[in-house]
Amino acid sequence: MQERVADEPLALLAYNSRQIGESSQGEVVDKAMDSHASDMYKILVEADKLRLDILKHMIDILTPLQAVEFLVASRKLQLCLHEWSKRRDIQMGITQLFNTDNPSSSGASL
């Protein structure tokens, strides 16, 4: 996968636009956005593979009891972070801004 700091075609199209969101090159923008979305998807897939690989290696070096305790603690942390983010979103009024069915903008899933 080619590494880029910014997607050059998008950056140039945005720079050359007269108004925000305006482009006379709609097809070029669509192609650049599709390429960017594909690259982002590949990064997410690779990050998930890395996360699972690290988890497997951690479980391998722990005793069975330690592995269970680790998995329980990590799940508990995930659930706490999800609840904290929901509460924070509500306090900040973010859920009303997004007006979604999901009461949290954190994207965390149970």
Centre a 10 Å sphere on the Cβ of residue 3 and count the other Cβ atoms it contains: 6
* pLDDT, one tens digit for every residue, the chain (110 residues): 454 545 556 677 777 666 665 556 667 777 878 888 999 999 999 999 999 999 999 999 999 999 999 999 999 999 999 999 988 888 888 766 565 555 544 444 44
CA–CA separation, 78 vs 109, rounded Å?
9
Whether 66 and 47 have beta carbons less than 8 Å apart is answered as no
Please give the Cα distance from 38 to 1 (Å, whole number): 11
**pTM of this prediction exceeds 0.75:** no
The first and second tokens of residue 68, run together, are 């269970």
CA distances from 25 to 10, 11, 22, 37 (A): 11, 13, 9, 18
CA dihedral 66, 72, 78, 80 (to 10 degrees): -120
